[in-house]
Structure formats: C-alpha cells, structure tokens
Amino acid sequence: MAKGKGASNKLPKKEVRRIEEINRQTDHRVPLPGIETGFDEYGVDVSDKTHAELSQFKPYAASLSTKEKYRYHRDTGQMRSFFGDVRFGYRSTIMDDLVNASLTESSFKGSGWGKIKTQSQEKDGSGSEGNEKAASVVFFNFSGFYVLFWMIVAFIVLRVGVDYYFSHDGDLSQSEILKFMTTDLLSVALIDLAMYLCTFFVLFVHLAVKRGWIAWKRTGRYLTYAYEIGFLWTFLYVAETVMQFHWLSKIFIFLHSLVLLMKMHSFASYNGYLWGILEELKFSKSTLAKAKDINIDDDIRIVLEKSCEFCQFELDLQSISVKFPANINFKNFFEYSMFPTLVYQVEYPRTEKIRWSYVFEKLCAIFGVILVMMIIAQFFMHPIAMRAMAVRDVGMPIFWDRIFEWLYLFLKLVPSFIMMYLMVWYLIWDAILNCIAELTRFGDRYFYGDWWNCVSWDEFSRQWNVPVHKFLLRHVYHSSISFLHLNKMQATLMTFVLSSVVHELAMYVLFGKLRLYLFSLQMAQIPLVQLGNSRFLKSKKILGNAIFWLGICTGPSMMCTLYLTF
C-alpha cells in the first residue's frame, strides 16, 4: 500500500528540479535527500514513517528562518523590505531652494530685511506685562554674496579672455584645452551611443527569464555578471588602445561606462531578487496547499506561512499600478536609463510637466560653467601641469630637488584647483542632473546635500554624491551584509575598498600610470572618520569643518601633482 501511494504522489521532474534549486540557494547549503522518490519521500506521507520523513522539510525551513532577521525589524517585528534602504520623494536641490527663496524678485528685498523671531519670553515675579523680556535672534539674507561670487568669476573670465585674445591675435584655435575638447567628437559620441545600446543586454536577460527560457539563479545572473565585467574592460580597451583617445575623451568614456554599469547592475539585481522572491512564494504556497491535510510540524508550517506573507508583502510594496514582472519591458527600461539615478525601482516620483524656462536656465549654466572651466584650465592649470611633466621627464633627483619642485607646484596649483573643484561639482550635480531631471520629469532632485558644512569624512561620503552613495548603500554595503553575511564594519571596509579601487582605476585612465596615491588617501579616510567621531573632535564642529575644508582644498592638487611629477 505504501509503495502504491508513493507512486501516486510522485512529483513531476520540473517540480523536483525547482525544489532542489531552492534548497541549493539556502544559507546552509544542505541537499534534500531522496527528493527524486516523490512527494511522500519529501516528508508528507501519512505512513508510519511520517515523522522521519517530515524532517526533510527542516533544511528549507531552517534557511527561511535565517532570513527572518533581515526581513523583520528586531524591535517591532514588522516586515521590512530589502529595498527600504533607499527612498525617493519629491525634493528640490539646495541651490534651487536658495535661488527660489532668496534671489527672485518677489523674495529679495534688499538690505534691512533681517527677520526678528522671538525665541522665548520671560516674565518677572510680579507678572506685569510691562516687565516681559524677549530673547530675539536676527536672521540676515546673504544672497548678495552669491551674486558677488558670480560677478567676480565673470570679471576673471573677461580679463583672461581679453588677454588671450590680444596675445594670440584673436586666434582661439591655439588653446590646448579647446583642442582637447573638440578632437574626435564624432568618434566619442558614437562609442558613447554604442555603450548605451549595450546596456539593453540586461533587459534581454530578464525577458528570457520572464518567458521561461532560462532561470535567473542558474544562468541569468552569471551571464549578467560576466557581461558587466566585459562591458567595462571592453570600452576601456577601445578608448585606450583601438581609438587612442586623448586623456579627456578617455576619462569621459570611462566615467560614463561606470554610470551605465551601475545602472545595469541595479536593474539586474533588483529584478533578480524579485525572481527569487516570486519563486519562493510559489514554492511555499504549493507546499502549504499539498500539506494542509498532513500533520506537519507547527514550526515548519509557521515558517512557510511567514514566507508567503513576506514574499507577498515584498512584491506588493514595489508598485501599486505595475506588478512584477510586468515592469520588465522596453518602455520601463528606457525610462529608467534616462532618469538621473543609479538605483532602479519600478516607479519614481514624477512632476506634472516640463518647465522649459528652467531647462533653458540650466542649459545656460552648463555652457557658462564649461567656459569658465576651460579658462581656468587653460590659464591657471595647464602651464603648471606642463612644468610638472617636464620635471618628471628631465630625471631630476627624487628626494631633494624634485620634492621641492613638487611642493612649489602643489602650492601654486591649489587656488585654481579649488575653483575647478567647485565648478565641476556645480556643473554635474546641479546643472546637468537638474536639466536631465526636468526633461524626464524626475521628481526627486536630491543629488547632493550640504556637503560644505561637513565636519567628518563619513558625512562627506554621504552628502557629496548622493546618487553614487545610494548605489553603494544598496548594492555594496547592504548586499554584502545580506548575501555575504558580513558585519557592519566588514561591509563598510568592503565599500571603502571598492570605491578606492575604482577611483584609482580612474587615475590610471587619466595619467596612464598605477601609483596608488589616491587609493592610499581614500583608505586613510577610515581612521580619519574614527578620529572625527572621537570625544575630542565630536564636540568641536568648527574645527572639524576646518579640517574637512583643508583636505578638500589640498587633496585634489596634491593628487594631480603627485601623478604628474613622480
């Protein structure tokens, strides 16, 4: 009788493979013995062997139990999504808030408009109204300094531009920086277009998974990881060896390939995780349905029920209107590829319309800032860079003459590099990203925080480049905790190391040499963070901000002259 019953309950081969695959992905990596013999051997037969065979559920149930510490809040017990680390909302940028609040005709009132705000009122013991004391604070508007800053920049640009015009008989084509920026423009544009089109590979992989042609865990993810590595090195090789671009084109291709790589990885990882959740939901539901009349252990039943509950919660939370995997289509991926974000999700906050006046304002800012950067680079940085390379090429003794010469060039480069640093930040994180956001009606404009007020380097890493910080937070830091089972300190170290390696690779692309100067300085931020959080510096915010600005003012110039001179 038992044999006949076992034959009638035999699982299809497809179901057997699915159960084996789910078990292989568990944290304990324990195989399910005897699974090929049928459903009764999996632990749901009502024979005398029931108790022994029910134990075969335990590896799968144990793997689900270990995941609960990531799925449920430790204190409240509430479910929490794996994607709850990064949130998007309707937010404007700080510079836009400054301009809208202080520099419009309706808000700018000139001098003498300090607002007096009563903080507290105290009465004397007599209770007389005439004896009230009010403590007040006066708030002044410093918008005039913002106008003055750009006025100074305009006059500097005008002065050096006129000098260059007359010294070169009006021939602007002799500018080395202009030559760099206009050489191979068509070739760079075509390669950049090819890079963008190659990002659709990850969409094709998930479309194949969606149609059941391949499985994400067995095939899709390995194809994607191999493709991502090949994508980065292929276009780096093309720019360096095949096309032999100059340094400006090479660094542009490299940095944009990193942006596209992060976009691909986020899209692939997000949907890959949901494929696993959907598979777990189907398996847990089917197991509960088949075992509902069986005397299965209560602990196992509870674990399966919680698995179903969480998986349904995770899938429903991603979007109200578009349910996974309906989001895997060309329209959704194209929109995501256009949005100024590196972290994928099904839906983003969107504005109602495009403000074309705002787009025009940002376009003017883009071309104006590029002009300022070209003049700074041509007149204040390029001559110093040429001298640094000359020092390197003549073979000057390293430990004396070359070091003193490097120190002189370093100090000479600091003022112009501070200006270039600020211009690059404003160009990318304010002008360009806001322009793209407006054209795509992307609602979350939080591309940077008030990094200029940072008092420690860990604050700076979070505030300076918010899109990259969000990517590292989800796909490096939290993923290493969830899937590699690292602790917080190990995950932080891994994030710092990965970021430092990528930055050093950028220096290799830029200067053509591997020196590890930038890698070493970035890794030095770890003890500096601990120092900034010490009891001595934690209460001294002004000192912390001064130390931070000292690093910002000297770090880029130090890196540039080190790579050029040594």
For 117-155, write each residue's pLDDT tens digit.
444 444 445 444 444 444 455 555 677 888 888 899 889
Which of 128-137, 175-184, 378-387: highest mean pLDDT? 378-387
Report the C-alpha gap between 532 and 382 in whole angstroms.
35
Mean pLDDT of the residues in the chain: 83
Give the pLDDT mean for 359-381: 93
Report the C-alpha gap between 322 and 309 in whole angstroms.
20
Percent residues over pLDDT 90 in the chain: 49
Please report, for residues 241, 421, 449, 555, 562, the alpha-carbon distance to residue 552 in angstroms, rounded to integers and kept in the order given.
Answer: 34, 9, 16, 6, 16
Residue type, 48: D
Residue 297 pLDDT grade (very low, low, confident, very high; cuts 50, 70, 90): confident
Percent residues over pLDDT 70 in the chain: 80
Report the C-alpha gap between 194 and 72 in whole angstroms.
43
Give the pLDDT mean for 539-556: 90
The pair of three-digit structure tokens given for residue 301, joined into one six-digit string: 């039943």
Q: Which of 187, 268, 181 is nearest to 235 (CA)?
A: 187
Report the C-alpha gap between 44 and 312 in whole angstroms.
25
Tell me: pLDDT of 171 over 80: no
Please report, for residues 21, 43, 227, the alpha-carbon distance to residue 31 in angstroms, rounded to integers and kept in the order given.
Answer: 9, 14, 30
Q: How many helices (H) and strands (E) does the chain have?
A: 25, 2
Residues in the chain, total: 566
Q: Which of 373, 470, 422 is nearest to 461 (CA)?
A: 470
The pair of three-digit structure tokens given for residue 294, joined into one six-digit string: 């069986």
Tell me: pLDDT of 43 over 60: no
Three-class SS of 311-363: HHHHHHHHCCCCCCCCCCCHHHHHHHHHCCCCCCCCCCCECCCCCHHHHHHHH
The pair of three-digit structure tokens given for residue 225, joined into one six-digit string: 């990881």
CA 23 to chain centre: 32
Q: Which of 267, 187, 192, 191 is nearest to 227 (CA)?
A: 267
Residue 36 pLDDT grade (very low, low, confident, very high; cuts 50, 70, 90): very low
- 518-523-528 Cα angle (round to 5): 115
Tell me: pLDDT of 48 over 50: no
Which of the residue ranges 41-55, 213-227, 293-307, 394-408 would you say has the lowest mean pLDDT? 41-55
Q: Which of 361, 357, 339, 359 is nearest to 349 (CA)?
A: 339
The single residue listed with the structure tokens 């404003």 is 426
Report the C-alpha gap between 540 and 310 in whole angstroms.
45
Tell me: pLDDT of 104 over 70: no
Q: What is the DSSP letter of 68?
A: H
More confident call, 257 vs 395: 257
Query: Which sequence spans correspond to the domains of the chain?
Result: 2-71, 83-102+143-174+349-447, 187-338, 451-566
For 451-474, write each residue's pLDDT tens digit.
999 988 888 989 999 999 999 999
Which of the residue ranges 391-405, 448-462, 471-485 would you say has the lowest mean pLDDT? 391-405
Q: Which residues of 468-486 are buried (b: 16+ CB within 10 A; e: fewer)?
A: bbbbbbbbbbbbbbbeeeb
The pair of three-digit structure tokens given for residue 353, joined into one six-digit string: 């319309």
Report the C-alpha gap between 30 and 60 in whole angstroms.
8
Q: Is the dihedral angle over the CA atoms 398, 402, 403, 409 positive or is it negative? A: negative
Report the C-alpha gap between 337 and 420 in whole angstroms.
29
Q: Would you give the end-to-end CA distance of the chain in angstroms? A: 84
Count of Cβ atoms closer than 10 Å to residue 369 Cβ: 20
Q: Output the pTM of the full model.
A: 0.83
Which of 103-112, 338-347, 485-494: highest mean pLDDT? 338-347
Question: By the 8 A CB rule, do 58 and 300 touch?
Answer: yes
Q: What is the reported pLDDT for 133?
A: 47
Report the C-alpha gap between 449 and 369 in whole angstroms.
20
Tell me: pLDDT of 6 over 50: no
The single residue listed with the structure tokens 């919660």 is 313
Report the C-alpha gap between 63 and 51 in whole angstroms.
20
Residue 437 pLDDT grade (very low, low, confident, very high; cuts 50, 70, 90): very high
| Residues known to be catalytic | 503
Residue 18 pLDDT grade (very low, low, confident, very high; cuts 50, 70, 90): low
Q: Is residue 242 classed exposed, middle or buried when 0-12, 13-18 and 19+ CB atoms within 10 A define those classes?
A: exposed
Per the DSSP assignment, residues forming a β-bridge with 137 are 117
Report the C-alpha gap between 408 and 378 in whole angstroms.
19
Residue 120: which H helix or E strand, with range?
strand 115-122
Backbone angles phi, psi at 403, to 5 degrees: -65, -45
Per the DSSP assignment, residues forming a β-bridge with 118 are 136
Q: Which residues contact 174 (CB under 8 A, 6 or more apart)?
A: 168
Q: What is the DSSP letter of 291?
A: T
The pair of three-digit structure tokens given for residue 386, joined into one six-digit string: 């040429």
Tell me: pLDDT of 13 over 90: no
Residue 20 pLDDT grade (very low, low, confident, very high; cuts 50, 70, 90): low
Please report, for residues 7, 147, 535, the alpha-carbon distance to residue 11 in angstroms, rounded to integers and kept in the order given.
Answer: 9, 75, 63
